[in-house]
Amino acid sequence: MSDYRALFRCIAGCGETYPLDEVVYECKKCGNLLEVHHDLAPLKKLSAKKWRELFDGRTGTTEWPYGSGIWSKKEWVVPEIDSKHIVSMSEGNTNLFWAKRFGSMFGMNDLWIKMCGNTHTGSFKDLGMTVLVSVVNDMIQRGKNIKAVACASTGDTSAALAAYAACAGIPSIVFLPANKISTAQLVQPMANNAIVLSLDTDFDGCMRVVREITKDNTIYLANSMNSLRIEGQKTISIEMVQQFDWDVPDVVIIPGGNLGNVSALGNGFKMMLDLGLIKKRPRIVLAQAQKANPLYLSYLNGFHEFKPVTPQKTLASAIQIGDPVSVQKAIRTLKEFDGIVEQASEDELANAAALADRTGTYSCPHTGVALAVLMKLIDRQVLSKKDRTIVISTAHGLKFSEFKVGYHEGTLKEVDCKYANRPIAMAPDVDKIREALEREFAARKG
């Protein structure tokens, strides 16, 4: 399998390329972002049928490292890495939740939620981080001088980086905007012994700091402008198609902030198209919080121009980003996949999450943004109820207890908590409790 090859290539097409084990994040000639480019010729030597069989055969295996949803596709991700140096915690292979009851509330019968938060640190960020930390570990094992890995984060990237780095024994540094992430997200990197810097700025400010700090090449940058992360995340598309027996969904809806994940989604579909595993493209919908909506504003003018915004405080804190690093990649992806960008207000995202929770989910606010966008686009008949639609759930709701508690206590700003459900405090008096239960049964019927 050694003739598979991948390298960094400039996205602007200026021709620059670098090996994947070089410490480089941007094109040295023109300053644009890089992407991982796979040499398709050797990959094409295996038929589509053989690739499907290979991937299907590895699902659930204990044979290192193929039990991971990412490394089961190793040849398409980082083909040349020594498997001994891979840092994996069996990420990926997350379930597709058939949202039957939720979908039926607005006439859909083929609605699915890809539960990317059901993974090691509780968000899809694990998918990219296993790849990045594995490549760094491989470099260190082969003698390169790397002291630490560092990232700026809205909470989930830092949790994933800290966990994977700790697993490999590599020091990590995380820059977080003070008071803008959940308690769980702050505690995760602390527990994993990362150097945690809480900065009096927002995410975009943390991003500027980490880009300065990582000009020292012995501190490796782990943000998604580093396209190794995108390679891991692109397996979301492959996995979803595989879960439908290699059938392509009609629509995929994904919440976006820094906009790396939406490009990853597109890359996964493109690679399957290039290698003949699928024949059609889904439509991709990018969902933004109204309080941090620079791509939505750009979409309204046909992507003719893009202007960063100053993001406002939003419950969807992981996508509270006004100057997304991967915006050009995202626009390219949306143009190729008949893309739509839609936004959701605080009220819409919180109520959509709560409504879905009434049908069994425990949705994080970002998933709430995607669910609200789905409901709006169905309501406006932009999307069809009949289409097989997948909503990407990006994190586990358990990471966002403040959001859940605030909703059910009715204390969230700008949110009319229509589905709040409060505990009933009462004495342990059985007769009174029977009466209370009757009232509750009646209320739930009505």
Ligand X SMILES: *Cc1c(COP(=O)(O)O)cnc(C)c1O
DSSP letter (8 states) at residue 255 = E
Distance in angstroms (rounded) separating the CA atoms of residues 261 and 442? 44
Report the partner that residue 29 touches, choosing among Zn ion, ligand X, none (CB closer than 5 to 8 A by kind).
Answer: Zn ion
Q: Which of 152, 150, 153 is nearest to 318 (CA)?
A: 153
Identified binder of Zn ion from the candidate list 19, 29, 216, 441, rule CB under 5 A:
29
14 sits near Zn ion (criterion: CB under 5 A)? yes
The one among 177, 260, 294, 322 contacting ligand X by CB under 6 A: 260
Does 259 help bind ligand X (rule: CB under 6 A)? yes
Structure-derived torsion over alpha carbons of residues 18, 21, 23, 27, reported in degrees to the nearest 10: 20
Pick from 125, 234, 329, 404 the residue near ligand X by CB under 6 A.
125
- The interface mask with Zn ion, positions 31-70, x = CB under 5 A, is -x--------------------------------------
> Maximum Cα–Cα distance for the chain, whole Å?
78
When CB distances are held under 5 to 8 angstroms depending on the partner's kind, the choice from ligand X, Zn ion, none that residue 255 binds is: ligand X
Calpha distance 410→95 (Å, rounded): 31
Q: How far apart are CA 153 and CA 156, in angstroms?
A: 7
The reply on whether position 261 binds ligand X by CB under 6 A is yes
Question: With contact defined as beta carbons under 8 Å apart, do 284 and 252 qualify?
Answer: yes
Q: Which is nearer to ligand X, 103 or 260 (CB)?
A: 260
Name the binder of 260 from ligand X, Zn ion, none, CB < 5-8 A by kind.
ligand X
- Please tell me the count of residues contacting ligand X according to CB under 6 A: 17
In the complex with ligand X, the residue whose CB is nearer, 277 or 353, is 353
Residues with Cβ within 8 Å of residue 22, at least 6 apart in sequence: 8
Q: How far apart are CA 283 and CA 352, in angstroms?
A: 22
> What angle, 0 to 180 degrees and rounded to 10, lies between the N-to-C axes of helices 48-58 and 235-243?
90
Indicate whether 394 belongs to the interface with ligand X (CB under 6 A). yes
End-to-end CA separation in angstroms for the chain: 62
* Residue of the chain from 69, 92, 189, 255 that contacts ligand X (CB under 6 A): 255
Question: Which residue blocks in 307-364 are alpha helix, DSSP H?
Answer: 327-336, 346-357
The Cα–Cα gap between 170 and 145 comes to: 12
Work out whether 182 is an interface residue with ligand X (CB under 6 A). Answer: no
Please choose, out of 79-87, 197-205, 254-262, 380-388, the segment that lies near ligand X by the rule CB under 6 A.
254-262
Q: Which is nearer to ligand X, 93 or 320 (CB)?
A: 320
Give the C-alpha distances (Å, rounded to integers) separating 310 from 149, 182, 323.
28, 21, 8
Q: Which is nearer to ligand X, 156 or 357 (CB)?
A: 156
Residues 332-391 that bind ligand X (CB under 6 A): 364, 366
319 touches ligand X by CB under 6 A:
yes
- Using the rule CB under 5 A, give the single segment among 9-17, 137-145, 147-155, 178-186 that binds Zn ion: 9-17
Helix (H) or strand (E) segment spanning residue 250: none
Pick from ligand X, Zn ion, none: which does 174 bind, CB < 5 to 8 A by kind?
A: none
Please choose which of Zn ion, ligand X, none residue 14 contacts, taking the beta carbon within 5 to 8 angstroms, the exact cut-off set by kind.
Zn ion
Report, in Å, the least distance between residue 39 CB and Zn ion.
19
**Of positions 4, 6, 9, 10, contacts Zn ion by CB under 5 A:** 10
The radius of gyration of the chain from alpha carbons, rounded to an integer in Å, stands at 22
Q: Which of 322, 330, 339 is nearest to 262 (CA)?
A: 330
Give the binding-site size for Zn ion (rule: CB under 5 A).
8
With CB under 5 to 8 Å by kind, the binding choice for 180 among Zn ion, ligand X, none is: none
Instruction: Restricting to residues 38-97, name those near ligand X by CB under 6 A.
Output: none
**3-state DSSP helix/strand/coil % of the chain, to nearest 5:** 45, 15, 40
Residue 102: which of 351, 290, 342 has the closest Cα?
351
Cβ 238 to Zn ion shortest distance, Å: 28
364, interface contact from Zn ion, ligand X, none, CB < 5-8 Å by kind: ligand X
Nearer to ligand X, 129 or 318 (CB): 318
What lies within 8 Å, CB to CB, of 292 at 6+ separation is: 257, 309, 311, 312, 314, 316, 319, 320, 321, 322
Q: Is 224 in the site for ligand X (CB under 6 A)?
A: yes
SS3 (DSSP) at 291: helix
Query: Which residues sit at the interface with ligand X, rule CB under 6 A?
Result: 123, 125, 156, 224, 255-261, 318-319, 364, 366, 394-395
Query: Which residues sit at the interface with Zn ion, rule CB under 5 A?
Result: 10, 12, 14, 16, 27, 29-30, 32
